[in-house]
Structure 1
């Protein structure tokens, strides 16, 4: 079940088009009265033009472009876009100007709306349960960025084992004394990951792909914890250890990686950090709010956590200054999934979800079916 790097339906990887509004949209809006409506949030698509043309042949496409929350609410109340049957958001950095999708916003959707297909893996900004209660299936695009996020997790993992942050900062300082200190002392405090235990919290597509890479490249021993045991993935990985509870994972892992959705509460705080192996490493490529960052600073100060690699942060775009200033913490700007291949896949997968589900088939990447089923 590994996730292959997504490729566009168009041949090759063409450069992004500057605009398609005058071409594809003119096609999609013709004979619109006979077609169900899709509301496209945010910017033009850039890569999957043939598939977007197909979408326009099947549906009438309305556009919100970039619009603020109050304007968006007013437009929904006034039925500016009619009784649309689905929403499409192809990019994570546009089309979200209306803010969190909560009851206030969701309640304004027309009852005709049955699916919201959006870019990105995380969905902490949308109340998927409330969407389900209003009859809307929410589809994310995690599989499209699986390869990019898993690669970033490997990079952060290596930085925690090998003190690459210290080495990088010393070299970048252009200070011979700092360079000399790193050059002479790093070997005494760093290790290879080979043969150590990687504990993954969340064996979804990204966690699974990370496990594959870590086992193949570094012969790491993999343990995981998830809400349910996934024996099919255990078998495909060729042997991993299932930890029924989080404590079991923490006490046995040399490096813990967070690869699980944020569900409204902190997962790793002071109590959990006390259960880590002394000097263990921590990597987060999921959501920043899963970690109590003040507690992480304390754990680093006490040597409980030996090093950390953080792509995500609790109060983005603000990075905790006591984490950013440490030479044993690698910090990134929430870019783990940021690649051309991911964006191509986000575009494509959102349209495929819409075409499949609204065509009478199944949603390809739904995340809230458990609540939809309860409503049926």
Structure 2
């Protein structure tokens, strides 16, 4: 057991800020059960020194990453894992994805990695619906223009967006990855009057397809891209889905297709996406994630067709 203010309690390194409202009572109970050390961002050299014997993080039993924040730890790759103290037994993260973490190496060290799978399914699906609407209707562009460029000249905005803005009703939504998020997103899109198609490694049961609004299965990505008016990525990142949308697959889509990504940023080749927007192949984009969350491509800043959240 770790030493500390109370050696009977496990010691946790807490990364991020606790969300106290409306969770103050839960936080009080939680903080009474552990010795909590708030993480303060520093240089990597100082962080590694803090993890060495005698350092302030050298006796931690667990790490909690409670929110996405600039005050964060590096990804748990093999090199960083080699510096973690022997006392560490568990890492808990609010994030759904864990593609930055070497979970196999953590397992070899006897360290559990717990992600937030399932906890954000509904909120992610809600954002998917918002981004689908924004990609079709260019709502982000309208709002930005009204607030800045046109100083509130609504009719001038309307002239620009009416040429490419469309209603999603009766359009085909092609979902890549009909898991819990994909299914919840499809059900929401069905309420807009969209037709649901999907691609995945295996076909879902008739019951699941019915929950998704009578979804039509495609055994190949190519066949789904050929009919989709909007492609929604809701799949995990893996070697098979890395840059799933790329220079070659963008050649297979309908001209003016919408692209929405609530999966992982690395599922899209962002340079290929930027080229497809420039060439008019992609007519609207909604992104919840980026290839590198801390370095959004500069080209994206100038696309009126792109919405983000």
State yes or no: 1:159 paired with 2:129. Answer: no
Partner of 1:326: 303
Contact kept, 8 Å, 2:77 with 2:101, in 1: the verdict is yes
Q: Distance in 1 between matches of 2:166 and 2:25?
A: 49
Residue 112 of structure 1: how far off its partner (Å): 4.6
State yes or no: 1:89 paired with 2:65. Answer: yes
1:191 aligned to which of 166, 178, 192: 166
List alignment gaps of at least 5 residues for structure 2.
none
Structure-to-structure mapping, 1:132-211, within 5 angstroms: 132-171=107-146, 172-174=148-150, 179-184=154-159, 186-211=161-186
Decide which structure has greater helix share. Answer: 1
Residue 165 of structure 1: how far off its partner (Å): 4.2
Residue 128 of structure 1: how far off its partner (Å): 2.4
SS in 1 for 2:119: helix
2:84 aligned to which of 100, 105, 109: 109
Residue 273 of structure 1: how far off its partner (Å): 0.7
Aligned pair in 2 of structure 1 residues 38, 319: CA closer, same or farther (>3 Å)? closer
Structural RMSD (CA): 3.0
SS in 1 for 2:63: strand
Partner of 2:257: 280
Contact kept, 8 Å, 2:20 with 2:27, in 1: the verdict is no
Structure-to-structure mapping, 1:10-159, within 5 angstroms: 32-44=6-18, 46-47=20-21, 48-56=23-31, 58=33, 60-68=34-42, 69-78=44-53, 80-81=56-57, 83-93=59-69, 96=72, 98-159=73-134
List alignment gaps of at least 5 residues for structure 1.
1-28, 337-376
Partner of 2:280: 303
SS in 1 for 2:118: helix
Q: Distance in 2 between matches of 1:53 and 1:164?
A: 41
Deviations 1:140-193 (A, max 9, x none): 2243333333222222211222233443344342268x8545434644543211
Deviations 1:335-368 (A, max 9, x none): x4xxxxxxxxxxxxxxxxxxxxxxxxxxxxxxxx
The TM-score normalised by the length of structure 2 is 0.81
Contact kept, 8 Å, 1:156 with 1:309, in 2: the verdict is yes
Structure-to-structure mapping, 1:200-349, within 5 angstroms: 200-215=175-190, 217-231=191-205, 233-263=208-238, 265-330=242-307, 332=308, 336=309
Contact kept, 8 Å, 2:230 with 2:259, in 1: the verdict is yes
Contact kept, 8 Å, 1:194 with 1:219, in 2: the verdict is yes
Q: Distance in 1 between matches of 2:18 and 2:97?
A: 22
Q: Distance in 1 between matches of 2:214 and 2:108?
A: 39
Q: Distance in 2 between matches of 1:253 and 1:54?
A: 49
Contact kept, 8 Å, 1:42 with 1:63, in 2: the verdict is no
